[in-house]
Amino acid sequence: MKHKHSTTIVSTSLLCLGLLSATGLAHAAGNCTIALKADDAMKFDLKTVTVSAACPTITVELAHTGKLPVAAMGHNVVIATSKDMEAIGRDGIKAGAANNYLAKGDARVIAATSLIGAGQKTTVSFPGKKLTAGGDYAFFCSFPGHSFQMKGKLTVTR
């Protein structure tokens, strides 16, 4: 009887360990998407987001929940280092709306969605290896004048 009891304990322990491992994987997979909503009040619904640099691919999803068209209140999401945010925005104004207010080929931009207006959605994906765990990153809207309040901190974990 003792042998059967110890086998049950070992089986139960292995089952629990397996469930804990699966839970950890499911949690890590959840860190591969940045889902944001933007509105006509020039704000994102989140001020901070967290992703894992271990993700093979990170996807940025943006939904415009406002009522104004792209020409009046367009929004996008740009991922960059915090120190580059202001310069990217300044250079983007010169690039104009046709270029999503981003300079063509700007190496400082890690990823960026297209500009969208009311009721639209957009996504962009990029390799997780473009980010470094613990780095100082930001997300922001490059539409002129928006980045002063449409910005947030991107926290990157391993």
Q: What is the pLDDT of residue 22?
A: 38
Angstrom distance (rounded) from CA 70 to CA 79: 20
Q: What is the pLDDT of residue 44?
A: 98
Q: What is the pTM of this model?
A: 0.81
Angstrom distance (rounded) from CA 14 to CA 101: 54
Angstrom distance (rounded) from CA 35 to CA 42: 16
Q: Domain limits of the chain?
A: 1-29, 31-157
Angstrom distance (rounded) from CA 62 to CA 99: 18
Per-residue pLDDT 10s for the chain (158 aa) are 555 544 444 343 333 334 333 333 333 344 899 999 999 999 999 999 999 999 999 999 999 999 999 999 999 999 999 999 999 999 999 999 999 999 999 999 999 999 999 999 999 999 999 999 999 999 999 999 999 999 999 999 99
Q: Can you say how many angstroms the Cα of residue 110 is from the centroid of all Cα atoms in its chain?
A: 11
What is the CATH code of the structural domain delimited by 31-157?
Answer: 2.60.40.420
Q: What is the DSSP string of 70-115?
A: HHHH-B--EEEEGGGHHHHHHHHHHH-GGGTTS-TT-TT-SEEPPP
Q: Can you say how many angstroms the Cα of residue 149 is from the centroid of all Cα atoms in its chain?
A: 17
